[in-house]
Amino acid sequence: MPTQEQVIDIIKQCYDPEIPINIYDLGLIYHIDIQPEAVRVKMTLTAQGCPAAQSIPEQVKQRIGTALGVKQVDVELTFDPPWSPQRISAEGRKKLGIPDETQEG
């Protein structure tokens, strides 16, 4: 059974083609559920009309299945709650040159 860290490492290899940071640091992943024979990922996109709406979830599914040997990978796409730039991780903000809102000064 893969670990949470292994799944996250694989997801961090997936990118939105329009934004130069991985989808995990971009804040697109809402939940990861790991079972002995399955991994379920709940995620969103930066916008409902995102041109990569089909390719990004499929990329997540394929990479997890291939890299971790998981027989069943389910990727649920949701827009509730909608994505916002506040979901970007500190690492992602650093890569994009956006000030980290959690730091003072």
Could you give the 3-state DSSP secondary structure of residue 32?
Answer: strand
Spans of the chain, pLDDT less than 50: 104-105
What does the pLDDT read at residue 101? 65
- On the CB side of 19, CA atoms within 13 Å amount to 25
Question: 62: phi > 0 → left, psi -120 to 50 → alpha, else beta; which?
Answer: alpha
Contact 79, 48 (CB under 8 A): yes
Residue 11: other Cβ atoms inside 10 A: 21
CATH, domain range 4-82: 3.30.300.130
What does the pLDDT read at residue 18? 85
Q: Which residue has the tokens 């903000």?
A: 93
d(CA 84, CA 17): 18
What does the pLDDT read at residue 53? 85
What does the pLDDT read at residue 51? 83
What does the pLDDT read at residue 17? 86
